[in-house]
Amino acid sequence: MFQRIILPFLLTVSLLAGASAVFAARAKTGLEVAADGAVPTVVIDAGHGGEDGGAVSAGGLLEKDVNLDIALRLRDLLTANGIPVVMTRTEDTLLYDKNANYQGRKKALDLAARRQIAEETPDCLFVSIHMNAYPDARYDGLQVWYSPNHPASASVAETIQRTARELLQPENDREIKAAGSSIYLLHRLTVPAVLVECGFLSNPAEAAKLSTDDYRGQVAFTLFLAISEVCGKTTENFAKSAPNT
Ligand SMILES: [Zn+2]
């Protein structure tokens, strides 16, 4: 409730006072505006891991591996742009206590651990990286889901979806979607949170692209540009290093 009141006020003040573009950009997205102008910490969540491979392509490409590779590339780009990053995982593993009695609860404990990392990171934006799959192999394209629990989540999702359309997939007419209870993390998290289904491993052409370093780099760079935008950070110095699209 506090934020609903304060954000229009901040936006008005920033416009009247001619405040920096950074400040205005952040107010516009609805992300929390820190008094000292600090950018949010991006919690990057590479979905699945360990014994949970996630989706799999016809050729055996595992979602967990593509998720982690793109997440690490995104981490490096954001870090180079001065945006703090916390990773939920950097290894091929699920997040649960291997010494505890986890019988039948690995996945639940893993998701709870990811949720806890986000909730314990002050002023954060949660970005979960996944790959899609569907029984009909025709479907392809990046799709962003957002948490309905924070007003900033939808605008972050829209920025990512738009950037993907502009840079990565001009034919992509997918629209952002609010997550229901089937997406545990977005359903439960109260921080700004999105989940990016970067592509369909069930589509042979898209799976083939997602198996390459070049395309993974392009996906990571697309996410980097969009997240930098919502964090109010310029990417001018990175334009020359943009992968070919
Ligand atoms: Zn997944």
Q: What is the mean pLDDT of each run of 10 residues along the chain (245 residues)?
A: 35 36 48 67 98 97 98 98 97 91 90 97 97 98 97 96 97 96 95 98 98 98 97 82 51
Residue 34 Cα to ligand 1 middle (Å): 32
The partner residues of 85 in beta bridges, in order of sequence, read: 42
Q: What is the pLDDT of residue 242?
A: 52
Residue 178 Cα to ligand 1 middle (Å): 16
DSSP H or E stretch at residue 69: helix 63-80
Q: What is the DSSP letter of 85?
A: E
Whole-angstrom distance, CA of residue 99 vs CA of residue 232: 42
Q: What is the DSSP letter of 240?
A: G
Q: What is the pLDDT of residue 155?
A: 95
Ordered DSSP codes for 89-153: -SSS---S-TTS--TT-HHHHHHHHHHHHHHTSTTEEEEEEEEE--SSTT----EEEE-TTSTTH
Q: What is the pLDDT of residue 214?
A: 97
- Domain 39-235's class? alpha beta
- Work out whether strand 41-46 and strand 85-87 pair parallel, antiparallel, or are unpaired: parallel
Q: What is the pLDDT of residue 101?
A: 83
Residue extents of the structural domains in the chain = 1-37, 39-235
Q: What is the pLDDT of residue 56?
A: 98
Q: What is the pLDDT of residue 14?
A: 35
Contacts of 22 by beta carbon, 8 Å cutoff, 6+ apart:
37, 232, 233
Residue 179 Cα to ligand 1 middle (Å): 14
Residue 36 Cα to ligand 1 middle (Å): 36
Residue 33 Cα to ligand 1 middle (Å): 31
- Work out whether strand 177-178 and strand 124-132 pair parallel, antiparallel, or are unpaired: unpaired
Residue 52 Cα to ligand 1 middle (Å): 9
